[in-house]
Structure 1
Amino acid sequence: MTKWGWTPWTIFYFTTPGVLSLVAVHQPPVLAAALGQDTIMPCELQLSHDENMTGTPVLYWHYMQQGDNNKKLWKPTEPYEGRVQLVDDNRESLDKSIVLKEVQWADSGMYECKLTVSTQRKGSHREKGNQTSLVVHDSLLFNPTDRNTSLLSCEVNVTQNAGFALTVLHNGSRLRSVNSAAGGNVSPQLFVTLSETIAVKAGGKYECQLHLKEDLIMKSVFHNNSTVAVEVEYPEPWLLYVALLLVPITVLLCLATVMLIRR
C-alpha cells in the first residue's frame, strides 16, 4: 500500500452495501435487584440499517453459573417457572428483555441472553450478549442501636463479593464509622451483612447510602431533632495556679523577714 492507497479502500468500505451490516445482542454487565421485588433483565437485538430479518428470532436466557447449565429463564425451567415473562409479547420485537418476579438470593449469578436469528446476509445463526451479573440487596435498616441511642447503625444484606459498600453522611458530609463490618451470612453462597455504626454528635439529617461501585442503589434517612449537649473546652487557668503558689511563698518570705529583723 502506498501512502494514499488506503483512501480508495476506506471509501469502498464505507460505501459498499452490507460491509457494515451488524447483528448484535446488548445486555448490561451488572444489574442490581431488590430482594422480593420484580426486576427487568434487559436484552436488545440491534440490526444495522442494511440488515433485514427473514424469520422470527428465537430467544434463550441461560443461567451461566458453573454446574447449573440446565437452568433457563426462557423458556423457564425450575426454579423460574411462573416467575418469568417477556416485557414485549410481540415475537417480531427486537426488545427481548424479560421480567424476573420476586427476586431471591439464589437468583444471584451470571446470565446470558442468546438469540437464533435469520437475516438476508448472514442466514440463520446464533447471537449472544456479553452476559449480565445479577446481584441482590435487601432493605436498608438505619436506626439508633438498642444499647446506645447515641449510636446510629446502618445494616443491609447483599450478594457476597458483588462490590456493594455503605456510606453514612451527616448534613451532606461523610462520617467516619466507629464500627464497620461485613457480618455473618446464612450460607457462603447467598449473602453477607454489611454494617456501619456512627456516633450521633449533633442534630440534623443523617443518611445511609448503599453503593454498587460508583452507582447509588438506595438510601435511608434519619432525622435527629434532639439537642445534643456540646462539650466546651476551657483553657488551663495557669494564672490562677501561679497566684495560688505565690501565696505560701509570700507568707514564708514575710516570716523569714520578721525573724531576721528580730535578730
Structure 2
Amino acid sequence: MCLYSRDMLKIILSELNHNLIWMKWGWTAWMFLYFMISGTHPLITVHQPPVLTAALGEDLIMPCHLNLSNEEKMTARPVLYWVHTDNEKLWVPSERYKRRVDLLDSDPLSLNKSIRLKNVQLADNGKYLCKVSVTMAGGKSFRMKGNGTLVMVYGNMTFGLTSHNDSLLQCEVNVTQGPGLVLSIFHNECKPQTVDSASGDTDAALPYVTLSETIPLRGGGKYECQLHLNENLIVESIFNYTPPVAGKDEKNILTAHPTTSPESGVAVFPEPWFLYVALLLVPTTILLGLVTVLLINRP
C-alpha cells in the first residue's frame, strides 16, 4: 500500500509554499505600503522572481522589470547593475561571467532588464540582485533594486536498479543547496515506503549536495522519480519495470548457465541423460532392422 498519493503530496507542498510566500513577502509589502503612504519615495519598483532553477549546462533567463508609475518620467536611459551577492558583476560582467551574459532587450530605454545566463554551472548558485539607476524629470536620480533571485542548479538525474541489489530502485540527483527542493519516487501514482533517503554530502567545500532515495521493487508498472521545488515539478525520470515470468525465465537461466558448487567452487554441468538414451537406441534400432530383414527373406 502506498503511503501518499501524488495529489496529497502536491497539497502538502502547496500549503508549505503558501506559508513561505506570506512570510517572505509580508515585510516587503509592509515597506512598500509605508513608502506609498508617506510619499517619501517615488513609485518606482524593480521586480524579480524569488527563486529560479536551472539545469546544469543549460541557459537561464533571469527576469528583471523596472516599473514606473504614470506620474514618473525618465529623462535618461536607466543604468543596469546585475550582481551576485558575493559582489561579482554580471552586467558589465566580471571574469567569471564574461561572454556568458546577454541582455534580452537591447533597447537602452527599455524597462525590461532581464538577462540570459549561458552554460549554467553548479558554482552559479546563489542570490542575484538586479539594480537599476534612473534619472527622472526634475533631475531626481535613484538607484533601485529588486528583492533578489535565488538560483538553484540541478545536475543529471539517475534512476534505475542498484548495482548491488536488483530488487532495489534508486534515484539520485546533484543539486545546489537551497530550501524547498524535494526528491520523491512514485509507483503507479502512489509514494511507496523508502528503504533509504539521504540529503547528501553537506561538505562546505562542495558546490552541491546529492539527493537520493531508494525503494524496493513492488511489482511491475511505471516508477517515476520527481524533483520538486515546493509544489512545482522541476525534472522527472521514468522507469518502466516488467517482472520476470515465474518458472519460464528461471528455467532458461538455469539451462543457459552452469551452476557452481558451493563446496568446491567448480562448475558442475547437468548429466546428459538424453545423449545416453540416444546412444542406447541407435544399436537397438539397427538390430531390430536386421532381424526384420532376415525374417522377411527367410525361405
**After TM superposition, is the score higher than 0.5?**
yes
State the distance in 2 between where 1:227 and 1:21 align.
70
Measure how far apart 1:136 and its partner are: 0.8
Q: Once the two structures are superposed, what CA deviation does each residue of 1:55-98 show, in whole Å capped at 9, x if it has no partner?
A: 10110011113xxx2x1000001100010000111111111000
Instruction: Please say which of residues 193-202 and 218-227 is displaced more in the overlay.
Output: 218-227
CA contact (8 A) 2:132 2:144 kept: yes
Structure 2 matches for 1:45-60, cutoff 5 A? 45-60=66-81
State the distance in 2 between where 1:121 and 1:20 align.
14
State the distance in 2 between where 1:184 and 1:20 align.
46
Q: Once the two structures are superposed, what CA deviation does each residue of 1:142-166 show, in whole Å capped at 9, x if it has no partner?
A: 1111122221110000012443211
Structure 2 matches for 1:1-263, cutoff 5 A? 22-65=43-86, 69=87, 71-120=88-137, 123-184=140-201, 188-227=205-244
Q: 1:211 to 1:121 in 2, by over 3 A?
A: farther
After the TM superposition, list the runs of 4 or more consecutive aligned residues in structure 1 that deviate by more than 4 angstroms. 18-21
State the distance in 2 between where 1:228 and 1:145 align.
21
Structure 2 residue aligned with 1:5: none
Q: 1:142 to 1:122 in 2, by over 3 A?
A: farther
What residue identity is the alignment partner of 1:52?
K
State the distance in 1 between where 2:113 and 2:206 align.
29
State the distance in 2 between where 1:210 and 1:122 align.
50
Q: 1:228 to 1:98 in 2, by over 3 A?
A: farther
Q: TM-score, normalised by structure 2?
A: 0.65
What residue identity is the alignment partner of 1:57?
P
Q: Once the two structures are superposed, what CA deviation does each residue of 1:158-190 show, in whole Å capped at 9, x if it has no partner?
A: 012443211110111112210111233675340
User: If each structure's strand is expressed as a fraction of its own residues, which one has the higher value?
Assistant: 1
Tell me the percent identity.
Answer: 51
State the distance in 2 between where 1:228 and 1:184 align.
40
CA contact (8 A) 1:135 1:162 kept: no
State the distance in 2 between where 1:121 and 1:141 align.
59
Q: Which runs of 5+ in 2 are unaligned?
A: 1-35, 247-299
Q: TM-score, normalised by structure 1?
A: 0.74
SS of corresponding position for 1:79: helix
What residue identity is the alignment partner of 1:35?
L
Number of residues paired by the alignment? 210
CA contact (8 A) 2:199 2:212 kept: yes
State the distance in 2 between where 1:36 and 1:60 align.
24
What residue identity is the alignment partner of 1:58?
V
